Amino acid sequence: MTSSVNRNAEAIRKYGLFIDGKEVPTDRLMECMNPFTGEPWAMVADAEEADVDRAVAAARSAFDEGPWHSLTATQRGALLRRLGDIIKRDAEELARIESTDNGKLYRETFGQWQYIAEHFYYFAGMADKLQGDVVASDRPNFFIYTRREPLGVVAAITPWNSPGLLLTYKLAPGLAAGCTFVVKPSEHASVSTIELGKRIKEAGFPDGVYNVITGQGRIGAALVKHPGIDKVAFTGATETGKAIAASAAQNLTRVSLELGGKSPNVVFADADLDVAANGAIAGIFGASGQTCMAGSRLLVEESVHDALLEKIVALSRKIRLGDPISSDTEMGPMANVPQFNKVLEYLDVAARDGAVVASGGAADSENGGLFIEPTILTNVTNDMRIAREEVFGPILSVIKFRNEAEAIALANDTRFGLAAAVWTQNIHRGHRVAHQLRAGTVWINAYRVVSFAAPFGGYKESGIGRENGLDGIREYTETKSVYVEMTGEPRDPFKLG
């Protein structure tokens, strides 16, 4: 299939807003830069607060009174299945669009968009499985039951690293539950979110169910504080998540926040070091380190520290940097200039604090642009900034430990708690340590594996709430209790019950 994306910017695409099932043109536009070429390849709308009002009104109308309001859960499931089919059909084009927008490897974005279709199939099947309960009443004259009802209008605010997948974490369960959406993607990667709107329209979803407003951060702030929003679902930096929670609290708007991480990858001496080395490389250099669950801290039992370090340094030096669209490329550029500069600043900070570069350690001069070498740092202690703060780039900090108790203490000594991994051939130790790690996802002898069926989210400052699985869809519902009086006899108006 020939992609319609023109990566040489010979014909720059222009996108308006997507509101109430229609593309809304505007003269206010922002450039989208291809991080590999450094050239603009598309332009998207730079929305104003009045556009936020229009998008929220469309979503509110669809939820309260439109055709969406009257659909059964089974009918919603059918629409989700149809959307999954369309996404699977167009996965190649959507992947090329996303890789052009944020520099992520095409082979990864293509795999993600194929898997996104599976998310919609999964939640299509769950749409009419959301059941209430019959409550064992303590009052013989009352029948009590509960209903799970859709929460309402959701503001989904998504990041630039995996815009399609991380939107799907919110959109698939939310639509299955019966909610409507206003989406604010990152200004650094908006195009795939707009393109998804066209597929949602083709699938037959009623107008107003899915709306997209693009623009700078002020637009996201206006959306969060809007009184017409019932829930904010956000993925991004922890400090931004805190600001969103504070703003949403003014209207008591519900929030789910999937935030940052400083995830430990714990390798014991009895681990298969070749397997663990591959896992460490995948955990930090996959997506160029630009992932919230990156295994940025490698905790290694001191007796195998040198042997494992030798293996991961050798593997890191073989990583091929280049055009993210090429099938030969193994690591792409930073997604945007601010992130590129941030990662370089952290390399300077690490050097000042005493970390030693074992491999990499600088911008990549051969490829130029926004590339940073896959970097491994040794002589790192857990109190250094490089070990405490989220870098969101290809920097691995290697830290020694002496025994299991110290490994657990070091792993948990962080304000984050998104993910962690344990590498050992001792099944007892694997489970024992996994149970003691304070993280929302723990892998044993694996890293960076997710499923639409398993809840995903963080402990501590890594977030609030869960995405995916049964826990994920419940985040988009309210529970209502219904009391039915059984006798029809008059009651004492001054007596409770």
DSSP 347-389: HHHHHHHT-EEEE--SB-TTT-TT-B--EEEES--TTSHHHHS
Instruction: Round to whole Å and give the CA distance between 98 and 287.
Output: 13
Nearest to 58 by CA among 84, 22, 86, 28: 22
> Does residue 320 contact residue 328 with C-beta atoms inside 8 Å?
yes
3-state secondary structure at position 406: helix
Of the CA atoms within 13 Å of residue 286, those in its CB half-sphere come to 18
Structure tokens at 462: 């890594």
Which residues share a beta bridge with 421? 265, 443
Instruction: Round to whole Å and give the CA distance between 68 and 71.
Output: 5
What is the 3-class SS of 183-209, one letter each residue? EECCCCCCHHHHHHHHHHHHHCCCCCC
Nearest to 183 by CA among 17, 15, 14, 30: 17
| Rg from Cα positions in the chain | 24
Instruction: Round to whole Å and give the CA distance between 467 and 441.
Output: 12
Q: Give me the count of residues in the chain.
A: 497
> Does residue 260 contact residue 237 with C-beta atoms inside 8 Å?
yes
The Cα angle at residue 92 between residues 88 and 94, in degrees rounded to 5: 85
Instruction: Round to whole Å and give the CA distance between 46 and 25.
Output: 11
Structure tokens at 77: 């499931």
> Does residue 279 contact residue 423 with C-beta atoms inside 8 Å?
yes
* Active-site residue, selected from the candidate residues 195, 258, 467, 475: 258
> Does residue 321 contact residue 287 with C-beta atoms inside 8 Å?
no
The yes-or-no answer on residue 258 being catalytic is yes
Q: What are phi and psi of 121, to 5 degrees?
A: -65, -45
Token look-up 């679902």 returns 233
Structure tokens at 260: 């940052």
Burial-class residue 95 by CB neighbours within 10 Å (0-12, 13-18, 19+).
buried
* Contacts of residue 135, Cβ cutoff 8 Å, sequence gap at least 6: 144, 145, 146, 481
Structure tokens at 240: 């931004």
Instruction: Round to whole Å and give the CA distance between 30 and 267.
Output: 45
Instruction: Round to whole Å and give the CA distance between 287 and 330.
Output: 9
* Active-site residue, selected from the candidate residues 179, 187, 292, 301: 292
Positions annotated as catalytic residues are 258, 292
